[in-house]
Amino acid sequence: MHKKDNRFRDTVNFRDLGGYVMEDGRAIKQGLLYRSGGLYKMNEEELAVLRGLSIASIMDLRTKGEAEVHPDPEVPGAVMLQHSGLEIGTANEIDFSPEGMRQIGASGERQIALLRAYYSEIPFYNEAYAELFRKIADFEVPLIFHCASGKDRTGVAAMLVLLLLGASRELAFQDYLLSNEYLREDLEKEYAENQNEMKTHPELKELLTMLAGVSEVAGTLVLDEVYAQYPRIEDYFQAEYGFDEKTIAAIRDFYLE
């Protein structure tokens, strides 16, 4: 069960994966694995809380360009890693700018097609995720992983982390969709400002959902693709990250109680 951390504003999209109950009945321990939006969005009070969490590893899934514009704040004692979660095939063709995500007509439809292809590719051969899972397997925790909004690159990563620890597909998906609750204000603002255009261009709503929140279609695509290739989820972690049964069991024993 997810509990909101009221020490952080919703807009930061920060949460502890601890507390979720896995299919074997064990729960993820609190205070080991955190997901978040950009740490640069935190105010001084939030940063003080973050710095009190004894973070050992910070995995920044943004591009180098994003990290240069908005560097992560210093977190004493934490090893900081930056590895873009976007460095995969289709991502290079997508215009992720607000303008690109507000396209309509044929260009909007093409943007949606590219985004859907991107989501079906992101769980595979993703070096950023490989780096994240190395940290998890080496127990270099407490660990926080984040991107800019904490919803797409981070959201997919969180689904995979939950599946590694033994969550049901449905639970992993529900955690992904929680970003829409945290970012509701931004989502509603986009819908309100574009309500007339959305009436004649339904493709715009899906793009705005992906811009300001997360799309159920995109999250489902990720999971469909993983399970289509690996009906037994442990086989995905063996193929992608080299985790054998013994390693997965050791990871689960460490993170679950």
* Domain ranges, ordered by start, for the chain: 10-255
Contacts of 135 (CB under 8 A, 6+ apart): 57, 59, 81, 141, 143
First to last CA, the chain: 14
State residue 167's pLDDT score. Answer: 98
State residue 88's pLDDT score. Answer: 67
State residue 87's pLDDT score. Answer: 73
State residue 151's pLDDT score. Answer: 96
State residue 89's pLDDT score. Answer: 66
Own/partner pairs for 210-216, CB < 8 Å, 24+ apart? 210/101, 210/115, 210/152, 211/98, 211/101, 211/102, 212/183, 212/186, 212/187, 213/151, 213/179, 213/180, 213/183, 213/184, 213/186, 213/187, 214/151, 214/152, 214/155, 214/176, 214/177, 214/179, 214/180, 216/177
DSSP H helices in 76-194: 105-121, 127-137, 153-164, 169-177, 179-182, 184-193
Phi, psi of 222 (to 5 degrees): -55, -55
State residue 73's pLDDT score. Answer: 96
State residue 85's pLDDT score. Answer: 80
Supply 256's token pair. Answer: 């679950």
State residue 225's pLDDT score. Answer: 97
Block mean pLDDT (10 aa), the chain, length 257: 90 97 98 98 98 98 93 96 80 77 88 90 95 97 97 97 98 98 94 92 91 94 97 97 98 98
Instruction: Out of 3.30.43.10, 3.60.21.10, 3.90.190.10, 3.40.630.30, select the CATH number for domain 10-255.
Output: 3.90.190.10
